[in-house]
Amino acid sequence: MGLGKSAAVVIGSFPLGESDRLVTFYSRDFGKIRGVAKSARRMRSRFGSALELCTLGELIFFDTGRSELVRIDHFDITRPFNRLRENLETLAQAAWIVECMARLTAERDRHVALFSLLVRGLRALEGSRPPARVAICFGVRCIEALGHRPRLDACVDCGRAYPFPRPSLGEGGLVCEACAPASAAGTLPISPATINAAERLRSLSWEEALAMPLARTETELAAVLEAQVARLIGHPPRSSRFQREVQRLLPSSGAPPLTAERVYEGGH
């Protein structure tokens, strides 16, 4: 039986049996790990609130080698990111970020830079930056880190150099007007301003990207990222429904509280 230890973030959790919990972590040293936390749902569980979504901690687990699931021994909180749960908009963007990590990454595929990006994104959500901006900056870098960087300098079908009129975004990058009707994966119209903004976000430092003025391109960038993630995982992210529900509830007072567990119960 192998003992593993690593800094990790909880990116998914759902009940298992009468008292256990199946938890998904993204760890610095092992990548994505799924494991069973025995008796985690009991009132006096040793895990307490440590297995809340988005919690950063020090994970200790045992791997028998006979199953994809490990046995979670301890998860000691390093940073709970409690402030993410105090604001529905922030919580919705945090849910989208961890769903990207859960859906787009492979089991046991170590990626230290991606782990650092995840922690950086969650920290930024606790700061003063608009939550939607943090999610966009995270999404652009996450997709690139995973090797899915869209090509923005030419049409991916015919090779025609950009700029060209009425560009669209398809699988792999830009598609020109002539090639768009024949694109098997479908295309999404994208404005030149949004293409330029995406290029700049990729080249700037993290703090510079968070501070960069996006104006009207922010909404389109969010839609483009949503389409890219949906294409990669095969369906729209479930957290997007949570985001829409939040937008519907935000203007009204006395709305029932939403939690990340409601979105991810029965999840990854």
pLDDT higher than threshold 60 for residue 176:
yes
SS3 24: strand
Query: What number of H helices and E strands is found in the chain?
Result: 8, 8
In tens, the pLDDT along 198-248 reads: 999 999 999 999 999 998 899 999 999 999 999 999 998 989 888 888 877
Highest mean pLDDT of the ranges 45-49, 109-113, 219-223 = 109-113
Nearest Cα residue to 268 out of 130, 145, 102, 76: 102
CA–CA separation, 222 and 228 (whole Å): 10
CA–CA separation, 64 and 67 (whole Å): 7
The answer to whether 167 touches 179, Cβ cutoff 8 Å, is no
* Whole-number pLDDT of residue 161: 97
Strand (E) or helix (H) holding 124: helix 112-125
Question: How large a percentage of the chain has pLDDT more than 70?
Answer: 92
* pTM of the predicted protein model: 0.88
Place of tokens 């939690």: 259
Which residues have C-beta within 8 Å of that of residue 63, sequence separation ≥ 6? 1, 2, 3, 4, 70, 71
SS3 95: helix
In tens, the pLDDT along 17-42 reads: 899 999 999 999 999 999 999 999 88
Query: 66 pLDDT band (50/70/90 cuts)?
Result: confident
pLDDT higher than threshold 90 for residue 177:
yes
Q: Which residues pair with 10 in a beta bridge?
A: 25
- Structure-token pair, residue 86: 């105090």
CA–CA separation, 15 and 19 (whole Å): 7
CA–CA separation, 263 and 12 (whole Å): 10
* Whole-number pLDDT of residue 102: 96
Map out the domains of the chain with their CATH numbers: 1-80 (2.40.50.140), 82-250 (1.20.1440.120)
Which residues have C-beta within 8 Å of that of residue 226, sequence separation ≥ 6? 236, 237, 240
